[in-house]
Structure 1
Amino acid sequence: MANEPEMYAQLRVIVDKLVPLSDEEWAIFQTFFIQKKVDAKTMLTREGQVADEIYFIHTGLARLYYTTENDDQITAFIFSENLFASCLESFVQQIPSTQNLETLEPCSLLVLTRDGLERLYNLVPKTNIIMRKVMEQRFISAQRLLSSYILSSPQERYELFAQHYPNLLQRVPQYILASFLGITPVSLSRIRKRISRS
């Protein structure tokens, strides 16, 4: 398990960038986050389940994906350190999820339940702003991804990903990265070879 004070200290750094909390507010806020350590390939939320938790990733990677009728997996988002991961539509609306949330690496997480969040809204009102900003960031990321599918070539999408997330290029399996970029693994391999020659 990651060092406990370090996990909570890192959460506070990220939260304070969204909305600074007083020491009194933080003392309450942090008690609602429970430590959890999981292995790679752990399903945090399965399609059809109602997402009841949101996860702050201290270490590790997770991915959000859809399963098609042909059992293909389409990656919608990749979460790395210092991000809040959840099947948000299911979590917010408390409806069965159309997505799966799975770890790609062993993860150290801080977990906030839906009930805990509702209590925090009352006990620490700034939580409302924190969650709004977390959701705004997810919305912007989703819009950028959608725009890149419409406006950018596969190679441009890869180059944008490499520019914004260079640390993930070697950590994310190639077939998952290809799915996220909307291309085949063979196309991704060709793009990488082309870029390495240029």
Structure 2
Amino acid sequence: MNTSHLYHFFDTDFPLNQEGLKELIESFSESNYKKGESLLQENTIDTKLRFLNSGVVREFYASEVKETNINFYTKPQFITDFSSFKNTIITRKNQECLTEVQVLTINKERFEELLNKYPCGKSFINATFQKLLEEKEEFEYIRLTKQPDEMYQLLLENSPECLQMVPQYHIASFLGVTPETLSRIRKKMSLK
């Protein structure tokens, strides 16, 4: 099991004592998924802390008439619905593999056991929630104040790998436009 991305995440963003870090990392297990498989479904409770080790995952809301993409994960990071995980509440989110995906997971009971054993792990939860809240507020601001072409430009600047790895119809859904409108935006950007 390759845990180098996970070690790097904790060593750089959330330094823990080495003994606690080793025990935490060893508590994760590896799961592999095929393109098109679901990682998370709405109306369930997210009971595992999931770290994307490799692959591309889309996160979306679904109604009877459409799906709306809200996030794409292309880099090693945690992809758990932290609100569902922490508060044991039903999620509204769905996650689907856009490529073959490798995820490292730890179940909630084991994770909480380690949090109680190593109090520095609580800083991980607090910092993660703070970061997610800040990202959500920034994203909501952008979606409400920016035009689709401005949002595309931000994706181009901040997540060029996302534009290369995610099918264009998913990018269009994320921007809230049709695929045809996205084509016009891309053409306009290429002329600049």
In structure 1, the residue matched to 2:146 is: 152
Tell me, in whole angstroms, the C-alpha distance in 1 between the residues paired with 2:34 and 2:99.
Answer: 7
* Contact 1:44–1:102 (Cα < 8 Å) also in 2: yes
Q: By how many angstroms is 1:126 displaced?
A: 1.6
Q: Tell me the TM-score normalised to structure 2 length.
A: 0.93
TM-score, normalised via structure 1 length: 0.90
Gap runs ≥5 in structure 2: none
* Residue identity matched to 1:197: L
- Distance in 1, Cα, partners of 2:100 & 2:131: 24
Partner of 2:181: 187
Number of the residue aligned with 1:68: 63
Encode CA deviations 1:131-178: one digit per residue, 9 max, x unaligned.
Answer: 222222222222221111122111110000110001111110111111
Tell me the CA shift for residue 22 of structure 1: 2.7
Query: How far apart in 2 are the matches of 1:180 and 1:196?
Result: 20
Match of 2:122 in 1: 128
d(CA) in 1 for partners of 2:73 and 2:132?
Answer: 10
Aligned to 2:15: 20
Quick one: percent identity of the two aligned structures? Answer: 26
Instruction: Look up the equivalent residue of 1:111 and give its one-letter code.
Output: T
**Correspondences of 1:38-117 after superposition (within 5 Å):** 38-70=33-65, 72-117=66-111
Q: 4+ residue runs of structure 1 moved beyond 6 angstroms?
A: none
Instruction: Count how many residue pairs are aligned between Structure 1 and Structure 2.
Output: 192
Q: 2: distance between equivalents of 1:189 and 1:140?
A: 31
Aligned AA (1:160): L
SS in 2 for 1:105: coil
Structure 1 residue identity aligned to 2:163:
L
- Tell me the amino acid that sits aligned with residue 150 of structure 2: E
Q: Which moved more, 1:18-27 or 1:97-106?
A: 18-27
Q: Deviations over 1:18-37 (max 9, x none)?
A: 22223212221112211111
- Specify the alignment match of 2:137 in structure 1: 143
Change (3 A) 1:80 1:136: farther
Question: CA shift at 1:197, angstroms?
Answer: 1.7
Whether the 8 Å contact between 1:29 and 1:124 is mirrored in structure 2 is no
Greater CA drift, 158-167 or 17-26 = 17-26
CA deviation digits over 1:35-76, x for unaligned, max 9?
111111111111111111121111111121111231x11111
Give the unaligned 5+ runs of structure 1: none
